[in-house]
């Protein structure tokens, strides 16, 4: 098997995973840190917290596996493992894109309509959280594409 850059078990793949974990954690922090309970009454904000709460352990876990594979100098060429990783990446990248768009549109709407809850720049933080979720999606779909490109060559 060729060693596809960016796929599982390469240093580029490890960097992608670490970037995903960083962005998803910052999205969670922007959304949750010091915010009152009000924000959780909106479904998109709730979904963003749920999705980023799934992306963070997934990326960190795969980053650990990638670290091991990079140090052991052997890329993963097991078909079933790669299929599971592709499936998980696909689900999580779709969810990331969906929640980032939903959160951004609701935050924009709250700002445009001059909602009373947007005091203290809190809606700006929702927008930043959506932007971080969007960056998570970009990196996650990059991982997905690299692994998906590799997958048919294993069959």
Query: Which residues contact a second copy (rule: CB under 8 A)?
Result: 42-44, 94, 97-99, 101-106, 108-109, 148-149, 152-153
Residues 62, 8: Cα–Cα separation, whole Å: 8
Q: How far is the CB of 152 from a second copy (least distance, A)?
A: 5
Contact 24, 32 (CB under 8 A): no
Q: How far is the CB of 100 from a second copy (least distance, A)?
A: 8
Alpha helices in the chain (DSSP H): 11-32, 43-71, 79-112, 122-154
Phi and psi based region of residue 35 (left: phi greater than 0; alpha: psi -120 to 50; beta: remaining): beta
Q: How far is the CB of 85 from a second copy (least distance, A)?
A: 16
Using the minimum distance from each CB to a second copy, give the nearer residue, 63 or 103: 103
Using the minimum distance from each CB to a second copy, give the nearer residue, 18 or 47: 47
Using the minimum distance from each CB to a second copy, give the nearer residue, 13 or 44: 44
């Amino acid at each position: 098997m060729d060693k596809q850059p960016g796929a599982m078990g390469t240093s580029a793949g490890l960097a992608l995973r670490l970037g995903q974990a960083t962005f998803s954690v910052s999205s969670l922090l922007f959304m949750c840190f010091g915010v009152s309970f009000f924000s959780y009454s909106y479904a998109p904000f709730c979904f963003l917290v749920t999705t980023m709460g799934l992306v963070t352990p997934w990326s960190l876990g795969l980053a650990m596996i990638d670290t091991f594979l990079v140090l052991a100098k052997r890329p993963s060429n097991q078909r079933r493992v790669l299929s599971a990783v592709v499936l998980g990446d696909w689900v999580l990248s779709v969810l990331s894109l969906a929640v980032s768009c939903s959160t951004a549109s609701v935050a924009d709407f709250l700002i445009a309509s001059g909602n009373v809850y947007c005091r203290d720049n809190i809606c700006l933080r929702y927008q930043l959280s959506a932007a971080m979720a969007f960056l998570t999606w970009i990196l996650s779909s990059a991982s997905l594409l690299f692994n998906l490109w590799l997958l048919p060559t294993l069959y």
